Amino acid sequence: MSDDPTRKGLDASSDDDGDGARAGRGRKMPLQELLKGAWAAAHGLAQDAEQEARRLTERLAELADVPRGEAERLALEVRDRFRDNREQLECRVDEEVRAYLSRLRFPSMADLQAMTSHVDGLEARVRALERRRR
């Protein structure tokens, strides 16, 4: 199994701290797959809630005899609040994932780019030395 923490399989049956998850009976689910699935589910729920709120405001306008403009304003306000909440949730999830990966000492994208640049420089120096030997 790879040392990459995002690729490590998590098995709920052998995981003492409860962080594991199963994709199916006996099959380990990679952390990255687990996170993607959880995020997709949360995003879908937020969209469903936003659509339901829109339907409810339209229904309220019909039942309470609220003018169309007022109902549309209310629907826009509810939509904006949902979007703000979703953006806050996205930021919070990003922060938590970053903190988790930091605790695992998983390199950031900037770290990986710096290491790649360094390796590219070393390779160029090795090629130059090989050309001088010939």
Got the DSSP string for 62-119?
HHTT--HHHHHHHHHHHHHHHHHHHHHHHHHHHHHHHHHHHHTTPPPHHHHHHHHHHH
Burial 55-68 (b: 16+ CB within 10 A, else e): eebbeebeeeebee
Task: Give dist(CA 87, CA 105) in Å, integer.
Answer: 27
pLDDT value, residue 10 = 40
- Of 45-59, 97-111, 114-128, give the range with the top mean pLDDT: 114-128
pTM: 0.46
Task: Give dist(CA 125, CA 119) in Å, integer.
Answer: 10
Average pLDDT over residues 54-63: 78
pLDDT value, residue 125 = 96
Q: What is the pLDDT of residues 15-37, one digit of tens each?
A: 434 444 444 555 666 777 777 78
Residue matched to tokens 């995003």: 43
Question: Where in the chain are the domains?
Answer: 32-106
Task: Give dist(CA 29, CA 23) in Å, integer.
Answer: 5
Q: What is the pLDDT of residues 64-106, one digit of tens each?
A: 877 878 877 887 888 888 888 888 988 888 888 888 877 888 7
pLDDT value, residue 25 = 53
Tell me the residue type at 97. V
Task: Give dist(CA 20, CA 89) in Å, integer.
Answer: 23
